[in-house]
Structure 1
Amino acid sequence: MRLGMAIAVVLIAFGGLAFRVGRLHLGDNSALRDSLAKTRRVEQQILVGRGRILDRRGSILAMDLTVYRLNADPQMILRDGLVEAYAALFSRKFGMDRALLETRLRQPERRQVYLASEISEDDRQRVLDLKLKHVWLEPVSARNYPQRNLASHVVGFSNAEGVGSAGVEQALDEFLRGVPGMRVSQQDGRRREMLDRRVLEIPAQAGADVHLTIDMNLQAMAEAALDQAVQQHRPLGAWALVQDVRTGEVLAMASRPDFDLNAYGRTPPERMRNAVTGCVYEPGSTFKIGVIAAALNEGIVQPETVFDCENGLWMYRGRPLRDFHPYGRLSLADVLKKSSNIGAAKTALLLGDARLERYLRDFGVGRAAGIELPGEEAGIFRARAHWDTLASTRIAMGHSVSLTTLQMLGILSAIGNHGFLMRPMIVRRVVDAKGRVLHEASPTVVSRPIREDTARLMCALLARVTEEGGTGRRAAIPGYRVAGKTGTAVKPGIGGYDERRNIASFIGVIPADDPTLAIAVVVDEPQPEHTGGVVAAPIFRQIAQEAVRYLNIPPTGTVQPIDPGDGADAAADDEEEAGHADRAAL
C-alpha cells in the first residue's frame, strides 16, 4: 500500500514536470522570452571626442587626449575577500586614499565603480603589470589645453560633461562636440557582447576642427606686453586687441587677469571675463575720432577751421566744460592733436544731434559687433529722444556713452579701411574629420559711415597725434607713421566722477598712410600714472613694433619716438598729457 502511494507520488511529480517542460517548449512564452531578451539587451552610446581648436597657422590650442579610468567590480572583489588587499595595494603604489578605496569597494550591489577618473600612461602600465582580477582600465577622452593660459578668454573651456562652457568652446560647441553613435546588441551572462546578436550600430560623427583667426605668436606678444604693464602700473586689469584693418580678423585678443584652462574649475569667475568684449566703459578722448570724422564728412568743418577753446573753461547752458590745460584758438587739426574737450564739444554742436547720432550708430555704437564669442556687450548709447541739451557736448568727449574695446577699435579700423566698417571675425573656418569645410568665414562689410577721402584725411590728422607735441607721441615707432588717439576717462563714482579712478587707453593704426593693423590697449585704474599717453601708448608701441617686424610690414616713414626717460622733457610731457584727462564738471 505504501509502496503504491510512493510510486503514485513520483509519477505525479514527473508528470507535472513533463507538463511544465512541454508547456515551456510548446506553450505561449512570449512574456518570458521578452523578459529574458530585456535582460540580455544592451544599448551603448558610442561617445566621440571633441574637435580641435587651432590658431591661423595650425598650432593647437585645444584637443582631446586619451586617458584611462581605473574601474573595479566590488561584488566580485568582496566575494573573493580582496577589499583590504586591493585598497592597501592601490594606496601604496598610486598614492590613493585607502579609506576612500575601501568605501567604494564595499558595495556588494555594484558591478562597476571607478577608482581613479584619470591615470597617467606610466600608471596605466603599472596596473597592467599587476594583472589583478576584477580590475580593468577604460579609455576615455579628456580635454587638454597645451598652451594653458595663452588666449584663455578666447579659447574658453568645456566642462567635465564635455559641454563647451566659455569662449570658442561654447560658441562653436555644436561643431566641436560631434554626434555620438549608438550600438544595440545582446550580452551573455558574463556581460560580454554576443557579436552575432548585434542588431543596430549607428557610427559616431567626430567633432569638427575650428581654425581661428588668432595668431599664437602675436597673441604671445600682446600678453607679454600686458604682463609688463600690470607689473609696472598695478592696475585692476588690462587688455589689448590686434585686428586686421581690411578684413576685420582678430589676430590677438588678450586680457588680464587670465587663467589656466586646464584648471578652470579652481578659477574665480571674475578672472574668466573677457574684458575686450565684456567690459563696457566710457572711452574718453578716443571717442572724439568718430565725432570729428562725421563733421569732416559732412563738410561743415575743415582741418583749418578754428575753434575758440576759451582758455580752458567754457560755460555752456550754465554748466562748465574744461580743458585742464588751457588753450585759446585751435584749428580742428590741433583740437584732435591736443585732445581739446571744448573743441570737440563745439564740433558736435555744429554737427547737430540728429547727424551725430546717425553717424555714431553707423560706426557701430550701441550694438554688439557680432563676433563669434559669447558674452559680448552692446554698450550703452541712448536714443536721441532721451538726450538733454548737454548730451552732445559730453558724448563728443567720450562721456555719457559706453562701449567695449572691440567697438571702439572698430571705429578706428573703419577710418583706416577707407570708411568701411567690418564685422570682427575670430573664426576662419570649421573643418570636419573628413576634411570637408563646414563653415568658411569671409570679410563682411557692416556699413560705410564716411567716404574714402574723409578716412584718408582722418588718418593724416591722427598721425599728428603721435608726432612731437601730440598726446600720443610715446606710441611713435621708428620708420613708421602711426595714426592714433589717446584716452583718459575718469570713471563714474558715487555722486559723480571719481578723479582718482581712471581708464587709460590708446588706439592706433599702422602704417598711417595705408593701415594694415589696428591695435587697442586699455589699462583699468593704473597707478601712479593714469593717462593714456603715458600708460597705454608705450604698450601699444611695444606690441606694434614687434607685430610689424613679425608680419614683415615694410617701413613707411622716419618718425622717431620720444624717450620716456628724457628727464625734464619727459616730465613736461607728463604734465601736458595729464592736462588732457577727460573731465566734465557735471
Structure 2
Amino acid sequence: MNEIASPTPAVSPWRRFAVISCIVLSFVGLSVRAFYLQVLAGDFYQEKGKRQQVREVKIPAHRGMLLDRNGTPLAISAPVHAVCVNPREFQASPGQIRQLAKYLGQSSKKLEKNIQRHRNRGFLYLKRQLAPSVAEKIDALDIKGVFLQSEFRRYYPAGEVTAHLLGFTDIDQRGQEGLEKWFDPQLQGIPGLKRVLRDRRARAIEDIDLIRPPRPGKDIHLSLDARLQYWVYRVLKQTVKSHHAKGGSVVMLDARTGEVLALANQPEFNPNARGSLRPARFRNRAIVDVFEPGSTMKPIAIACALKAGVVRPGFRVDTSPGHIRVGRHWVRDHKNEGPLDLAGILHKSSNVGITKVTLRLTPKGFSSCLQGFGFGRMAGVDFPGEAKGVLTDYRGWGQFEQATLAFGYGLSVSALQLARAYTVFADRGRLHSVSLTPRVVDDKVSAVMPATIANLVRTMLEGVVSEAGTARRAQIPGYRVAGKTGTVRKAIPGGYAKDRYLSLFVGMAPASAPRLVLAVIIDEPQGKRYYGGEVAAPAFARIMGAALRLMGIAPDRPAAEDTILVRRGDGEMG
C-alpha cells in the first residue's frame, strides 16, 4: 500500500515579508554606516587615528663645553641613547628577551621582573647613556614596545687630571660638583620639542612638526692651561706616592692677573668612571680645606712690621739662646741662631726672631695687615664650598697668640688663599683677586703696601732658596726663585700631633719680575723626611721649572750661578 506524503506547511506571506524587510534594512543600515564613516566622518576618524600615533617628543639640548684658556676641550657632551619600553605594549619572544638582557648587561629574569613590576606604566627606562653601537643592536631586535631616545653623556678627556676643578654632572646633565655646578645655568641648554609619528613599536618614524628648536648651552673658557694642569697633577701624584703621604694640593696663579693656571689635589677621582666614584674624594682640598700655614707666614709678618714702621730694613735681633718666654709659654728655634737681621730670620726660619719682630706691632695693626693679605675672608673665586679660613678677633689675643700667628699657628687658610697672599710680593705690593676664567687685567686688585717693601721682602725670600737657606732644593737652573718653606704639626684634639705634619712651600719665579706664584702642600709625608724644604720644595722646582720653559719665560739667572747650582745640587731639580 503506497504511503501518502504529508503536505509541506505553507509560509505565511507576512512572515516572508518580515524576514526580507529585516535583511534589507540591515543592509541599508550597514551601507549608511559605512558611508558615514568613510565619507561624512572620514577626516575625523583619520585624524583620530593619527593622534593615537603622534606624540610630542623632547629634543635634548647640547650642554656647553668647558675649555681651557687655549681652547682645549676639558668637558664635552657626546651623543648616546637611552633604551626605553612601554610596559603596556611590551611583547617579546624568549630569544628576544635573552638578547635584550645581554645588551643591557643584566639577566633575563631581572629584566622581565622589572617590566612586569611596571606593567601599568606607559614609559620606563631600561638603561641610560648607552653607546650608539649597542643601541643599534637593540633596535635591530624589533621588539614591540621597546624604543630608543637620544640623549647626551658628559665626558672629561683629561679624567682625574682636572676632576677636582671641573666636578661632574648627573645622568641628566645637571652639574653636581665643581665648576659644572657653579656654571650650570650657563652650560645648560634648553630642550626643544617636536611632533613625531610613531610606529607600532613606538619608534619615531617621521618628524611631523618642529614646535621649538633646542637651544645649546654656552661654551665656557677657563683660565686653566691644560698643559700646566697635567704636569702639576703628575708631579703632585708622584710626590705624594714617593713620600707615602696622605694627600696634597698644588695651586698655580698668574702673578700679574690672579688667574688660576693649574690646581690639583690628591687623592683624585675619575669622573668618567661613575660606578666607582667615592664621595670622600670629590672635595677640592685646595679651595675648601683649611690648615695652619706655619712658617710661610713669616715673610708676611715681616712685611707688616716694615709697613708699620716698627722695624727698618737694617733691623737686627738677637735670638740667643734659641728660645724665648712669652707669657706662660716658650717659643723655640731648632738651634741657637744668634744675632739675625730680617733676611736672616727668614733664611733660618727663626721662631724666636719673628716673635721679637711681631710683638713690636699692635694687635689691631697686625690684624688689619693680615686681613689686607686676604686672610679671614674668601678669595672670591666663585667655587662651591670655598673656605674663608679663620682669623680670630685681635681683641682676644694675648702676646703669645700674636706671636704664634707670625709663625703660622692660631689661624687657618686654604692653599688658594696662601698662594693669593704671595701675589703681594710678586706684584709690587698688590693683592690680586683670583679668577677661574681668563682675563687680561684684574680690576679688583688692591694695594696692600708700598712696592718698595714688597720688593724688599721678595729679595729676602730669594735668600731662603739659596744654599744657606732652608729651601735650596727649590732652586731652578736658569731662574731666580723666591719663596718660603713651612713645616706644620697637625692639630689634634687636645694639642698637636708629634708625628703628623704638613710640608709646605710657596714661591714665585722668575724672582726678578715674577710671572707665576706656586703653592705646594703635602699632607702627612711619612718617614724621616717631612720638612717643607725636603718634600714640598723639590716638587715646586719640578713644577715651576717646567712651567717657565713651557710658557717661554726668559731665564734671569746668570750662567755662572747655574754652574754652582749644578755642582752643589742634589739632582732633584727640574
TM class by smaller structure: 0.7 to 0.9
Among candidates 158, 167, 178, match of residue 147 of structure 1: 158
Equivalent residue, structure 1, for 2:542: 542
Equivalent residue, structure 1, for 2:5: none
**Aligned-partner Cα distance in 1 for 2:530–2:172:** 44
Among candidates 329, 336, 342, match of residue 339 of structure 2: 329
Secondary structure of 2:526's match? coil
Secondary structure of 2:159's match? coil
- Letter aligned with residue 343 of structure 1: G
Equivalent residue, structure 2, for 1:503: 502
Secondary structure of 1:375's match? coil
**Aligned-partner Cα distance in 2 for 1:427–1:122:** 37
Among candidates 295, 299, 313, match of residue 309 of structure 2: 299
Equivalent residue, structure 1, for 2:354: 344
Which runs of structure 2 are paired with 1:118-517 in the superposition (5 Å)?
118-127=129-138, 135-183=146-194, 201-428=211-438, 442-517=441-516
**Aligned-partner Cα distance in 2 for 1:342–1:161:** 58
Equivalent residue, structure 2, for 1:525: 524
**Aligned-partner Cα distance in 1 for 2:570–2:259:** 38
**Equivalent pair of 1:459/1:513 in contact (CA under 8 Å):** no
Secondary structure of 1:282's match? coil
Deviations for 1:514-542, whole angstroms, at most 9, x for unmatched residues? 10110110011111121111111011011
1:231 deviates by 1.6
* Alignment partner of 1:59 is 2:58: no
Secondary structure of 2:97's match? helix
**Equivalent pair of 1:363/1:447 in contact (CA under 8 Å):** no
Secondary structure of 1:262's match? coil
**Equivalent pair of 2:290/2:413 in contact (CA under 8 Å):** yes
Secondary structure of 1:241's match? strand
Secondary structure of 1:455's match? helix
Deviations for 1:34-70, whole angstroms, at most 9, x for unmatched residues? x999978855433202111111111111101011233
**Aligned-partner Cα distance in 1 for 2:273–2:568:** 39
- Letter aligned with residue 423 of structure 2: S
Secondary structure of 2:544's match? helix
**Aligned-partner Cα distance in 1 for 2:239–2:302:** 31
Deviations for 1:449-477, whole angstroms, at most 9, x for unmatched residues? 11111111111111000012111111011
Secondary structure of 1:213's match? coil
Q: In 2 relative to 1, CA 196–511 (structure 1 residues): closer, same or farther, beyond 3 Å?
A: closer
Among candidates 100, 112, 115, match of residue 110 of structure 2: 100
Secondary structure of 2:345's match? helix
**Equivalent pair of 1:46/1:180 in contact (CA under 8 Å):** yes
1:186 deviates by 9.2
Deviations for 1:325-351, whole angstroms, at most 9, x for unmatched residues? 222221111111111112112211112
Deviations for 1:98-141, whole angstroms, at most 9, x for unmatched residues? 22233345465455544442333433444455556554433221
- Letter aligned with residue 496 of structure 2: Y
Structure 1 spans left out of the alignment, 5+ residues: 27-31, 429-439, 571-586
1:246 deviates by 0.2
* Alignment partner of 1:46 is 2:46: no
**Equivalent pair of 1:84/1:102 in contact (CA under 8 Å):** no
**Aligned-partner Cα distance in 2 for 1:526–1:5:** 109
**Aligned-partner Cα distance in 2 for 1:93–1:66:** 18
Q: In 2 relative to 1, CA 70–358 (structure 1 residues): closer, same or farther, beyond 3 Å?
A: same
**Aligned-partner Cα distance in 2 for 1:408–1:272:** 22
- Letter aligned with residue 73 of structure 2: I
Secondary structure of 2:485's match? strand
1:228 deviates by 1.5
Further displaced range: 330-339 or 246-255: 330-339
**Equivalent pair of 1:474/1:562 in contact (CA under 8 Å):** no
**Equivalent pair of 2:156/2:272 in contact (CA under 8 Å):** yes
Q: In 2 relative to 1, CA 288–541 (structure 1 residues): closer, same or farther, beyond 3 Å?
A: same
Secondary structure of 2:500's match? strand
| CA RMSD after TM alignment | 3.7
**Aligned-partner Cα distance in 2 for 1:84–1:330:** 87
Deviations for 1:223-258, whole angstroms, at most 9, x for unmatched residues? 111121112111111111111000001111010000
Secondary structure of 2:169's match? coil
**Equivalent pair of 1:476/1:562 in contact (CA under 8 Å):** no
Q: In 2 relative to 1, CA 556–192 (structure 1 residues): closer, same or farther, beyond 3 Å?
A: closer
**Aligned-partner Cα distance in 2 for 1:36–1:68:** 29
**TM-score of the superposed pair, with normalisation by structure 2:** 0.85
**Equivalent pair of 1:67/1:140 in contact (CA under 8 Å):** yes
Q: In 2 relative to 1, CA 38–442 (structure 1 residues): closer, same or farther, beyond 3 Å?
A: farther
Further displaced range: 261-270 or 355-364: 261-270
Secondary structure of 1:459's match? helix
**Aligned-partner Cα distance in 2 for 1:232–1:311:** 37
Deviations for 1:289-319, whole angstroms, at most 9, x for unmatched residues? 2111111122321232111213211012232
**Aligned-partner Cα distance in 2 for 1:219–1:555:** 22
**Aligned-partner Cα distance in 2 for 1:472–1:117:** 53
Q: In 2 relative to 1, CA 84–130 (structure 1 residues): closer, same or farther, beyond 3 Å?
A: closer
Deviations for 1:67-106, whole angstroms, at most 9, x for unmatched residues? 123344544443xxx3312112334677542222333454
- Letter aligned with residue 271 of structure 1: R
Q: In 2 relative to 1, CA 91–515 (structure 1 residues): closer, same or farther, beyond 3 Å?
A: same
**Equivalent pair of 1:372/1:427 in contact (CA under 8 Å):** no
1:491 deviates by 1.2
**Aligned-partner Cα distance in 1 for 2:301–2:263:** 26
**Aligned-partner Cα distance in 1 for 2:539–2:61:** 43
**Equivalent pair of 2:355/2:404 in contact (CA under 8 Å):** yes
Q: In 2 relative to 1, CA 77–163 (structure 1 residues): closer, same or farther, beyond 3 Å?
A: closer
1:182 deviates by 4.0
**TM-score of the superposed pair, with normalisation by structure 1:** 0.84
Secondary structure of 2:290's match? coil
Secondary structure of 2:382's match? coil
Tell me how many residue pairs correspond in the alignment: 549
**Equivalent pair of 2:473/2:569 in contact (CA under 8 Å):** no
1:169 deviates by 0.4
Q: In 2 relative to 1, CA 269–193 (structure 1 residues): closer, same or farther, beyond 3 Å?
A: closer
- Letter aligned with residue 175 of structure 2: G
**Equivalent pair of 1:482/1:509 in contact (CA under 8 Å):** yes
Q: In 2 relative to 1, CA 116–356 (structure 1 residues): closer, same or farther, beyond 3 Å?
A: same
Decide which structure has the larger Cα Rg and report it: 2
- Letter aligned with residue 361 of structure 2: L
**Aligned-partner Cα distance in 1 for 2:567–2:179:** 40
**Aligned-partner Cα distance in 2 for 1:38–1:138:** 20
